[in-house]
Amino acid sequence: MSKKDFYETLGIAKGASDSDIKKAYRKKAMKYHPDKYENASVKEKDVAEHKFKEVNDAYQVLSDGKKKSKYDRFGHDVFSQGGGAGAGGFGDFGGGGFEDTFGSFFGGGHGSHIEPGADLRYTVEITLEEAAKGVEKDVKYYRKGECHTCDGTGAKPGSKLKTCSRCNGNGRIKEIQRTMFGNFENVVECDVCHGSGKVPEKKCSKCHGTGIEKEKVEKNVKIPAGIDDGQRLRLGGMGEASENGGPNGDLYLFINVKEHAIFERHDSDLVCEVPISYTKAVVGGDIQIPTLDGAIKIKIPEGTQTGKVFRLRGKGMPSTRGGRIGDELVKVVVETPTKLNLDQKKLLQAFEDSLKDKNTGMKKGFFDKLKDLFK
């Protein structure tokens, strides 16, 4: 058990109300929750783990009327009086190690069973242009939130919480299942206090003692540049409130990038097809190419074949991790002319004949005439 003053750990004054203790605990628990340090350094993870343990140790005592009373009278000395409850200690802490404290968040450990609220899913639809530049979106949804009348305690304002008589404050009850092979004992969440170990003396009239009410949430969310279809963003603590004093669940934003009329995305590269005329493929020239930043001009060399791919450096998608921007890959498709008039057919036939006979040169101005006919 941590030797640091429990009130100092939660950042509250001695004599704080049950509601203030609960609010302070939620704030600190969310701040040091291990999920927030998944990508942190080993040192940062160790510090957060230690802080998270201290916060849970403090809440285990200050949220329990009897333990809090003993702590206020004797301080940490109460832990060195033999260790058992009969000697004035807290025998139901199960040793007070990090595994017990941390496990209580996810269903393990001893004492009250503190579960976080449910996670929520929300789909955000954006365009490819928005994915390339990054965008802010207003997210609106409904969730189970903390009752504003009782601050989530479930107790009528002015009344207090009391130890649950069903589970004696443990948050768990034992069930006996009788089978042909004998009786099996199973420990489950208390169906009266929902694992918190406490119930209101008088129920809040707004939430009827649940501590929960439906609320509408509106939040402006920044979608980072480079995000891809199917990726998700996690907003910690933006999910539903817990029904037994734990932290809120999380909100997961699933990104849906609309199909683009021109571009297909391949990782950080963009791919598109651009048609060019038969004459342009033969004699070459400039053409307009679409990009996410607007049309640009590139030069097509003479004799370009259909399927030729031109790479435009840095015209693709950025990476969400920073660094190199992808490229745009432009595949040209030569359009074969149809419904030719007599002059056009004669001109093309003369062109084909000239290719067969290497000794026959093309008359001056032939290609200019060819381009004029196929404009």
The pLDDT of residue 180 = 64
Nearest CA among 125, 152, 150, 149 for reference residue 137:
125
Contacts of 149 (CB under 8 A, 6+ apart): 157, 204, 205, 206, 207, 213
Helix or strand holding residue 126 (H, E)? strand 120-126
Query: How far are the Cα atoms of 110, 176, 181 from residue 265, in angstroms, in the given order?
Result: 51, 58, 60
pLDDT digits over 67-113, tens only?
887 788 767 665 444 333 333 333 333 333 333 333 333 333 334 55
The token pair at 50 is 């230690």
The pLDDT of residue 370 = 54
The pLDDT of residue 104 = 37
pLDDT digits over 223-279, tens only?
999 999 999 999 988 999 887 667 889 999 999 999 999 999 998 999 999 999 888
Domains 114-143+212-259 and 263-338 share a fold: yes
The pLDDT of residue 101 = 33
Q: Which CATH class is domain 263-338?
A: mainly beta
Domain boundaries, the chain: 6-104, 114-143+212-259, 263-338, 346-374
The pLDDT of residue 306 = 92
The pLDDT of residue 315 = 95
Burial of 153 by CB count in 10 Å (0-12 exposed, 13-18 middle, 19+ buried)? buried
Q: Decide: 93 and 110 in contact? Cβ < 8 Å.
A: yes
Q: Which CATH number fits domain 6-104: 3.30.413.10, 1.10.287.110, 1.10.246.90, 3.40.640.10?
A: 1.10.287.110
Please identify every stretch of the chain with a pLDDT value under 50, giving residue numbers as ranges.
79-111, 359-364
Q: Which residues pair with 214 in a beta bridge?
A: 144
The pLDDT of residue 357 = 61
**Domain 114-143+212-259 adopts which CATH fold?**
HSP40/DNAj peptide-binding domain (2.60.260)
